[in-house]
Amino acid sequence: MASSQLAKIMHGKIWRFFGGIKPSELKNTTQTPIEELPLPALITLPLERHLGAGGEILVKAGDRVKAGQVLTIPGGKRNVPLHASTSGTIIAINQQILPHPSGFTGRCITIKPDGLDEAVDPAPISDWQDKSPQELLERIRFFGIEGLGGAQFQTAAKLSSAIADGRSCNIFIVNGAECEPVATCDDRLMQEKAADILQGVDIIKHILKPKAVIIAIEDNKPAAIKAMQQAAADRAIVRVIPTLYPSGAARNLIKIVTGIEIPYKAHTSDCGIVVDNVETVYAVKQAIIDGIPLIKRVITVAGSSLKRQGNALVRLGTSVRFVLNHYHLNPERRQRIILGGPLMGFTLPSIDVPITKSATCVFAPTAAEVPPEPEAMNCIRCGRCARVCPSRLVPYQMYAYSKAGDHQHAAACGIADCTECGCCAFVCPSRIRLTAQFRKEKAIQYLLKENATRNERARARMLEHQKREEEAARLREEKKRAALARIQAQKAAKGAPTSAGDSATALPTAQDLAARRAAAVAAAQARRAKLQGLSTSATSETATTEHMPTQAERAAAVLAQDRADRKAAPPAASPALPYGLRRAGVPKQAHIIDAPWPEPQPAERLLSKVENPPTHEIEVKPATYHSIFAPAPEKTEAPKLPHNLSKTRKQP
Amino acid sequence: MQISVQSAKQNLGIEAAPHLHAKLSTNKIMALVLIALLPGVAVTLYYFGCGLIWQFLLLTVVGFICEMLCALLRARPLKRAACDLSVYVTALLLALTLPPLMPWYWTVSAMAFAILIVKQAFGGLGMNIFNPAMAGFIFLIISAPGAFFTTYIAPAPAAIQVATLERSAKVIFTAEEPAVLVQDIKALQDDPDALSGATFLESVKTARKAQTVNAIAAPDFASTNYQAYAALGIAYAAGGLLLIACRVILFQMPLAFLATIAAGGALWHYLSPNASISCAEHLLFGGTMLAAFFIITDPVTNAGTSKGRVCFSILCALLILLIRVEGSYSDSVAFAVLLSNAAAPLIDVLTRRRPFGIGYKEGGLQ
Ligand code: SF4
Ligand code: SF4
């Protein structure tokens, strides 16, 4: 890096990113201390990010678990183990509703807490300064630490990719911007746990060895800034940045703090910059210095429909309903419960969903606070959306293409760069649901791309098949030709004798036949001998003469071998889980620690960008136009009724 | 009674993110534009008489009927079409640009053309390529140039007392000869015979052919002959500043537009005083101020991004100068606006944005 750039950064220069908005902040919980919620009646832990291909669940229904106990061993490199967040009995491992805007279901482990809240013994690493980064990273991954700012990207993978292949990390940014309105959890955490966060920063500094550590905080959090400045002293730079949504998005924050724009194709850690949320850093500290896995997180609970508002330390897996009850929800008609902030979050179709690591905020606004959306009007091309888009896109153009079903043009407009930040829909005077359309369009693009690759593969297979067919046809043709030639040659050869005696050639004599049969038998025997020789040549020459072992005998031999093997090597200390963690159920060998360290695959990024891609084919209809002098075509298809209400009887 | 299963199950409100919205809505924008035009309306009433009121009412009614008709033809909800304020903005802009004593049938046909052909045939609000008000104006100036010159009022202070509602109505609706009223108003000026043509720009046009533009006495904007133009300029600028303060329009657009006209006009005047009028005349005559704040800032027919809009303003300003100095129509603003409208898609393509992260070097800060 240009050292002048680093000098500028250290000097405190602040860059601007393009666009951005200043929504009303609604942060009225900055003064309420974080309180720990009591134990909920049920804990539901989704498995989706903790299993992956080849992962396994270590518990079964009926098992007793303690808080902090490992419940799964993940298969994929990008997943982390799941930890029980309180002690109790596992009552089910089944499909439950996930916190998702469409109310999708997924596999979850449900724990009935016993109220004792016993925890496994903490396993602090007191001498972490002497440990290698690899060991610390393993601990961070094994203790389930993922980005708590909302993206839920695995922290250890992020950190390790910044130092993999001899790369060096230049700047480590602690993200305390918290630009989302309503959310104050990071703010409160910085006010209350500044020293702990700085310890976490020290650990990450030890891992990454960056040239600079910058804690970026928006200037609407004076208390947090003061606390962090006091705690940081000269260990890190506290950079006060102007309040502008979305300055907390990683790429925008990097632009503000370092002046570098990292395209959406590249990883931020590939270019020597690592951004982590303050709460993640705090979790890292807890994992290493306190030895406690990530089983609780801070969320902001706000909104005028609640009697009380505040910041809550909740166990992961607590249901939203429990949280809302604790804050005395007084719902209005068609109450909206927004998980995540009011700009990036989504309304929940059901409140019986668990709080996960990605939830930052539960917002229950009244209609007065957040008015219901009016009907959208036509786009008047006012250009406001284009003026605020931090990705420098032209949303109204993209929207028009997307609405018209012109997916190529929408892609050419750069829909892949859209972060779904919601700035464009925020400012749109016509109240067009731009961001929602982009979310849908991205899913369609994803599907189209999938279809394209699948088609490509099918075509390749088809070509191969055709080639094979042609080859076979050619061979057949050749054989046929050869056979014809042979027959003709025979005919030509027999041309002379035929004139001598027809009967002799037409009916072979008995002698002739016997000779031929004898020859065939001899040939067959020779073939068999050759085959047997092949299969047993490894053992001995005489194998052909010995009788072949029967099926039963062979099975018995295998079993005996197995027994002998096991006697020779006693089962290698079956609960091989590190850190003295107890494993429930069948002991199985865990490969988690020996696995080579993961390297994030850029190719996979697209997959992770579209959350819950639609599973069925989306019908992509071309736009239809009709003359202005003809009324719009009547909708012929009857509105779909649910199964139990469908009109089965047809009118005669 | 049929119970919808969906609604029985669903008692939580579902909406797409983001849930917060900025205060400004499309109808508020339109209402603000109407309010910002009020000073201009007041000045026009005072100096040009009450014809404006009749014109505006006429245009509004016709516009409303046309909108309803189109909504019916296109099977769109009537209520939404009725709530749309943009047609009133078009009506007011057209009323401010047409001569106040235009016969009613011309006014009606101009509005019908503007709404039916220029706006709705392209898809209605937000889809039109050309500015409807300007297109309606040009429709009239090409099809009825005579009516323009007979009904044009040379402004004079307190014209509102002469051209009262009844007298204007008589001229507009009952085909009474407008010349009498026009002369009556002209009599209010200090020097009624200063100009040979109907308007200042018309006289300049005829003078230009003889290369005697500098022989025309420079207008004194304090005199009653030209007071109206200065007052109008100030009124439009005040309204424009209101729009800028409310963030309805970008301040860069009028700024670039006026700066280009001022600089270009001054330069041209300096180089060939026989062909071009001076800078102040360029700015105050021919609706330049109205265009700067209300017409070129029309979002629909503009280029998309801020950069594109500034380019659009500069292009429009240059076209105005060119048409004024070299063209054969004195109403250069309308033509220039339509030509720039046609160029807007091209400007959009030329000012395409660089994508996020361009110029990023592999490895970044390594
Ligand atoms: S903000 Fe809304 S109305 Fe304005 S250009 Fe964008 S989409 Fe169109
Ligand atoms: S949602 Fe997408 S298009 Fe809209 S402002 Fe954000 S990044 Fe730009």
Range in A340-344, A469-473, A518-522, B185-189 the model is least confident about: B185-189
B86 and A380 within 8 Å at the Cβ level: the answer is yes
Task: Please give the full DSSP string across B333-354, using - where no structure is assigned.
Answer: HHHHHHHHHHHHHHHHHHTPPP
Higher pLDDT, A509 or A42: A42
- Residues having CB closer than 6 A to ligand 2 are A 389-391, 393, 395, 418-424, 434-435, 438
Q: Residue A610 corresponds to which tokens in the numbers above?
A: 């579209």
% of chain B residues with pLDDT over 90: 42
Number of structural domains (chain A) is 2
Q: Which of A272, A255, A277 is nearest to A174 (CA)?
A: A277
Q: Does pLDDT of B324 surpass 60?
A: yes
Band (pLDDT 50/70/90 cuts) for residue A636 is: low
Band (pLDDT 50/70/90 cuts) for residue B351 is: confident
Helices (H), A404-433: 407-412, 423-427
Beta strands A56-57 and A34-36 are unpaired
Q: Does pLDDT of B222 surpass 80?
A: no
Same domain, A347 and A450: no
Range in A7-11, A15-19, A153-157, B250-254 the model is least confident about: A7-11
Ligand 1, atom 6, residue with closest C-alpha: A385
Q: Is the peptide bond before A602 cis (omega within 30 degrees of 0)?
A: no
Q: In a 10 Å sphere around its CB, with 0-12 CB exposed, 13-18 middle and 19+ buried, how is residue A84 labelled?
A: buried
Please give, rounded to a whole number of angstroms, the shortest distance from the CA of B35 to a CA of chain A.
18
Same domain, A49 and A156: yes
Whether residue B1 lies within 8 A of chain A, CB to CB, comes out as: no
pLDDT at B8: 40
Backbone phi, then psi, for A610, in 5-degree steps? -95, 110
Same domain, A250 and A272: yes
Same domain, A109 and A213: yes
Ligand 1, atom 1, residue with closest C-alpha: A428
Q: Does pLDDT of B1 surpass 80?
A: no
**A414 falls within a domain:** yes
Global confidence as pTM: 0.78
Average pLDDT, chain A: 82
Task: Please give the full DSSP string across A130-144, using - where no structure is assigned.
Answer: GS-HHHHHHHHHHTT
Q: Does pLDDT of A467 surpass 90?
A: yes
Whether residue B21 lies within 8 A of chain A, CB to CB, comes out as: yes
Higher pLDDT, A459 or A166: A459
Q: Residue A331 corresponds to which tokens in the numbers above?
A: 């719902």
Query: What is the spatial distance between Cα B365 and Cα A558, in angstroms, rounded to a whole number?
Result: 59
Query: In three state form, how does the secondary structure of A80-108 look?
Result: CCCECCCCEEEEEEEEEECCCCCCCEEEE
pLDDT at A573: 47
Q: Residue A43 corresponds to which tokens in the numbers above?
A: 């804990």
**A166 falls within a domain:** yes
Interface of B with A in 91-130 (CB under 8 A): 120-121, 124-127
Domain that holds residue A348: 19-116+130-363
Same domain, A62 and A111: yes
Band (pLDDT 50/70/90 cuts) for residue A545 is: very low
Virtual torsion, Cα A463, A467, A470, A476, nearest 10 deg: -140
pLDDT digits (tens, 9 = 90+) for A54-107: 788 888 888 899 999 999 888 877 788 999 999 999 998 988 888 888 888 888
Where among A485, A515, A550 does a domain terminate?
A485
Q: Does pLDDT of B71 surpass 60?
A: yes
Continuous segment of H or E residues that includes residue B165: helix B165-173
Same domain, A285 and A388: no
pLDDT at B363: 53
% of chain A residues with pLDDT over 90: 38
CATH number for the domain that contains residue A85: 3.40.50.11540
**A649 falls within a domain:** no
Ligand 2, atom 1, residue with closest C-alpha: A420
A262 and B364 within 8 Å at the Cβ level: the answer is yes
Q: Residues A170, A6: contact at Cβ < 8 Å?
A: yes
Interface of B with A in 299-318 (CB under 8 A): 299-300, 302, 304-306, 309
**A230 falls within a domain:** yes
Query: What is the spatial distance between Cα A392 and Cα A252, in angstroms, rounded to a whole number?
Result: 12
Q: Residues A361, A178: contact at Cβ < 8 Å?
A: no
Where among A454, A485, A516 does a domain terminate?
A485
pLDDT at A581: 55
**A497 falls within a domain:** no
Q: Which amino acid is at A583?
A: R
**Distance from residue A537's CA to the centre of ligand 1 (Å):** 80
Query: What is the spatial distance between Cα A309 and Cα A326, in angstroms, rounded to a whole number?
Result: 10
Where among A451, A485, A519 does a domain terminate?
A485
**Distance from residue A251's CA to the centre of ligand 2 (Å):** 14
Q: Can you say whether the dihedral through the CA atoms of A182, A183, A189, A190 is positive or negative?
A: negative
Residues of chain B neighbouring A212 (CB-CB closer than 8 A): none
**A644 falls within a domain:** no
pLDDT digits (tens, 9 = 90+) for B32-55: 999 999 999 999 999 888 889 999
Higher pLDDT, A624 or A324: A324
pLDDT at A224: 92
**A234 falls within a domain:** yes
Residues of chain A neighbouring B302 (CB-CB closer than 8 A): 381, 383
CATH number for the domain that contains residue A463: 1.10.1060
Q: Which of A271, A239, A257, A249 is nearest to A15 (CA)?
A: A257
Same domain, A347 and A381: no
Same domain, A210 and A270: yes
Q: Does pLDDT of A2 surpass 80?
A: no
Please give, rounded to a whole number of angstroms, the shortest distance from the CA of A272 to a CA of chain B.
6
- Which residues partner with A57 through β-bridges? A72
Q: In a 10 Å sphere around its CB, with 0-12 CB exposed, 13-18 middle and 19+ buried, how is residue B45 labelled?
A: middle
Q: In a 10 Å sphere around its CB, with 0-12 CB exposed, 13-18 middle and 19+ buried, how is residue B79 labelled?
A: exposed
Please give, rounded to a whole number of angstroms, the shortest distance from the CA of B73 to a CA of chain A.
6
**Distance from residue A415's CA to the centre of ligand 2 (Å):** 9
Q: Residues B334, B137: contact at Cβ < 8 Å?
A: yes
Same domain, A41 and A110: yes
Please give, rounded to a whole number of angstroms, the shortest distance from the CA of B82 to a CA of chain A.
12
Same domain, A194 and A226: yes
Backbone phi, then psi, for A273, in 5-degree steps? -125, 130
Same domain, A308 and A423: no
Beta strands A105-113 and A88-97 are antiparallel
Residue boundaries of the structural domains of chain B: 25-350
**A575 falls within a domain:** no
Ligand 2, atom 8, residue with closest C-alpha: A389
Residue B356 is nearest to which of A261, A342, A380, comparing CB atoms?
Answer: A261
Ligand 2, atom 5, residue with closest C-alpha: A389
Average pLDDT estimate for A299-325: 93
